């Protein structure tokens, strides 16, 4: 439902920003959309979108570790609730700002990103969902369920865009009322969820999970570093009474969260020593840069081929069809390969390779496309490349035990958000190349995306897995 709301509002948000820029430029609230497609307005729209993505991501970076620690101490329900409230508040402020473009400049929407500090936004919400699912699953079947979990959001990608297009015909703000209703429903569902029992080990200051603290842990560290993403058993050590007194001196929830954060940073440091885990987190970072150009595909097709923005929702529909196809086929194929004796990590890595190859080819096709129809075909290939996400999640989940899933998936979200700091402005700058008053963007961002995914594909060639893992 959360992904339905975010996908539903994706294109309407682009149109909302474009309309606000256009109204302020012409000083005319009734300006037609066709008048907004020339260079200056599109350059400004690219810049606004790029920096908005960056600032939204910054909130995720600043809060990822904190909310991961809070989830371990207080349960995922609280974090899910905060994430939904923060995201909903941001969208409401954006609509309010863009409803009075002659009063407030469009750049004011950047300030709404501050509201994502409440809950961390969609990334933190998704990481909590992955944590809840991952904690209940065995290593061998975890990735299969990650595919099924991804199926829901992908289904919304070819349903919600067309719903958005219909409501955009009704009015500029109509899709947002539906989106706010969906987000309100999510809040009600989260409130009704049963509270999860707090992790005793995480909340008890008398115990500390130590992964990489001193030389006494060297053996455990070596066991992980020499592996391929499989965790070493954790070491537990009782705190001395003095240490316990020092800890409890802080008191309250913040003292607990602070201690948990320290342990989480130690776990992350150890996680990065494993070559497969390091690859996954690196891939999370670079794939976000690669996928960033797909966010600008709506603007690109509208600008280059003259489509109205509501018609560009077909790009998301076709991409969603490709994503649904692969998320249905991949777990079935994975199940058959597991029965034939192939290890889960081996299957996941090869799915990653296939997805990276497909993405590299599809983005180069988008760049070379001479019509909107060819872009539609390339978007189907990009949708097939969505198999990359659950396969990476499966690999990173193998790098830790289930009790540390919150650490793993919030670290995953942290790298994803960190990439957004680069991806938004970089893609916006690339979109501006070649654009003049009489010529649309050259679309070089799609070429760069293809190169990024090709680089990651080459990186996978350096990884080695044992067949028995």
At a CB cut-off of 8 Å and minimum separation 6, what does 127 contact?
64, 68, 406, 409, 410, 412, 413
Residue 447: exposure state from Cβ atoms within 10 A (0-12, 13-18, ≥19) = middle
On the CB side of 155, how many CA atoms lie within 13 Å of its CA? 9
For residues 23 and 412, what is the distance between their CA atoms, to the nearest angstrom? 40
**Element (H or E) spanning 45, and its range?**
helix 39-74
Kindly tell me the sign of the dihedral angle through the C-alpha atoms of 430, 434, 437, 440. negative
What is the model's pLDDT at position 353? 94
Q: Give the tokens for residue 302.
A: 């509208």
How big is the chain, counted in residues? 469
Q: What is the pLDDT along the chain (469 residues), one digit of tens a residue?
A: 787 888 888 888 989 999 999 999 888 888 888 788 777 888 888 889 878 888 887 887 788 778 877 877 788 888 899 999 999 999 999 999 999 999 999 999 999 999 999 988 887 887 787 777 766 666 556 666 666 666 666 677 667 877 888 888 888 899 999 999 999 999 998 888 877 644 444 444 433 333 333 434 444 343 433 333 333 333 333 334 444 444 444 445 556 556 666 766 676 677 777 788 888 889 989 998 999 888 888 888 888 888 887 888 888 888 888 888 888 888 888 888 888 888 888 888 899 999 999 999 999 999 999 888 899 999 999 999 988 988 888 887 775 554 456 667 777 777 877 787 788 788 888 888 888 777 888 889 999 999 999 999 999 988 876 544 4
Domain ranges of the chain: 2-198+272-460, 200-271
**Element (H or E) spanning 329, and its range?**
helix 313-339
Of 213, 344, 212, the closest CA to residue 276 belongs to 344
- According to DSSP, the residues that pair with 236 across neighbouring strands are 209
Q: Give the tokens for residue 115.
A: 């509201």
Q: Give the tokens for residue 450.
A: 């293809």
Q: Give the tokens for residue 263.
A: 């342990």
CATH-assigned architecture of domain 2-198+272-460: Up-down Bundle (1.20)
Residue 428's CB is within 10 A of a number of other CB atoms, namely: 23
At a CB cut-off of 8 Å and minimum separation 6, what does 97 contact?
20, 104, 106, 108, 109, 112
In the block, tokens 């996680």 appear at 271
- According to DSSP, the residues that pair with 238 across neighbouring strands are 207
At a CB cut-off of 8 Å and minimum separation 6, what does 333 contact?
none
Give the distance, in angstroms, between the CA of residue 117 and the centroid of all CA atoms in the same chain.
Answer: 16
Give the distance, in angstroms, between the CA of residue 273 and the centroid of all CA atoms in the same chain.
Answer: 23
Of 467, 466, 431, the closest CA to residue 447 belongs to 431
Give the distance, in angstroms, between the CA of residue 142 and the centroid of all CA atoms in the same chain.
Answer: 19
What is the model's pLDDT at position 95? 94
Structure letter (DSSP) for residue 290:
H
Give the distance, in angstroms, between the CA of residue 223 and the centroid of all CA atoms in the same chain.
Answer: 31
Residue 192's CB is within 10 A of a number of other CB atoms, namely: 8
Tell me if the pTM is above 0.75: no
**Element (H or E) spanning 391, and its range?**
helix 388-397
Q: Give the tokens for residue 418.
A: 């960190």
For residues 394 and 136, what is the distance between their CA atoms, to the nearest angstrom? 14
End-to-end, the C-alpha distance of the chain in Å comes to: 36
Question: With contact defined as beta carbons under 8 Å apart, do 189 and 1 qualify?
Answer: yes
**Element (H or E) spanning 407, and its range?**
helix 405-432
């Amino acid at each position: 439902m959360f992904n339905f709301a975010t996908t539903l509002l994706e294109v309407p948000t682009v149109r909302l920003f474009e309309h606000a820029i256009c109204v302020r430029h012409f000083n005319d609230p009734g300006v037609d959309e066709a008048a907004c497609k020339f260079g200056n307005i599109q350059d400004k729209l690219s810049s606004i979108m790029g920096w908005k993505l960056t600032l939204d991501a910054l909130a995720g970076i600043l809060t990822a570790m904190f909310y991961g620690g809070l989830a371990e101490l207080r349960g995922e329900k609280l974090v899910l609730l905060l994430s939904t409230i923060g995201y909903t508040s941001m969208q409401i402020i954006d609509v309010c700002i863009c409803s009075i473009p002659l009063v407030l400049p469009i750049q004011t929407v950047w300030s709404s990103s501050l509201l994502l500090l409440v809950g961390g936004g969609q990334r933190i919400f998704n990481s909590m969902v992955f944590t809840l699912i991952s904690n209940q699953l065995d290593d061998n079947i975890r990735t299969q369920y990650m595919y099924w979990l991804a199926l829901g959001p992908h289904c919304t990608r070819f349903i919600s865009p067309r719903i958005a297009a219909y409501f955009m015909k009704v009015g500029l703000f109509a899709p947002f009322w539906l989106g706010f209703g969906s987000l309100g429903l999510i809040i009600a569902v989260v409130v009704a969820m049963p509270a999860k029992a707090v992790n005793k080990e995480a909340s008890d200051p008398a115990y500390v999970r130590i992964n990489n603290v001193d030389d006494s842990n060297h053996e455990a560290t070596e066991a992980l570093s020499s592996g391929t993403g499989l965790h070493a058993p954790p070491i537990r050590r009782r705190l001395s009474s003095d240490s316990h007194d020092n800890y409890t001196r802080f008191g309250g929830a913040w003292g607990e969260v602070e201690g948990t954060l320290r342990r989480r940073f130690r776990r992350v440091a150890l996680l990065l020593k494993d070559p497969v885990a390091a690859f996954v987190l690196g891939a999370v970072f670079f794939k976000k840069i690669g996928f960033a150009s797909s966010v600008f595909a709506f603007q690109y097709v509208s600008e280059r081929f003259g489509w109205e923005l509501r018609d560009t929702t077909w790009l998301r529909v076709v991409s969603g069809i490709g994503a649904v196809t692969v998320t249905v086929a991949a777990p079935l194929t994975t199940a058959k390969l597991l029965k034939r004796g192939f290890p889960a990590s081996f299957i996941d890595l090869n799915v990653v390779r296939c997805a990276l190859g497909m993405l590299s080819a599809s983005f180069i096709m988008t760049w070379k496309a001479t019509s909107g129809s060819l872009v539609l075909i390339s978007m189907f290939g990009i949708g097939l490349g969505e198999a990359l996400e659950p396969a990476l999640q499966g690999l990173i989940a193998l790098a830790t035990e289930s009790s540390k899933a919150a650490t793993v998936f919030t670290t995953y979200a942290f790298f994803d958000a960190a990439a957004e700091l680069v991806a938004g402005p970089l893609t916006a700058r690339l979109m501006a190349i070649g654009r003049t008053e009489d010529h649309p963007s050259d679309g070089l961002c799609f070429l760069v995306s293809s190169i990024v995914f090709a680089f990651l594909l080459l990186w996978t060639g350096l990884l080695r897995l044992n067949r028995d893992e």
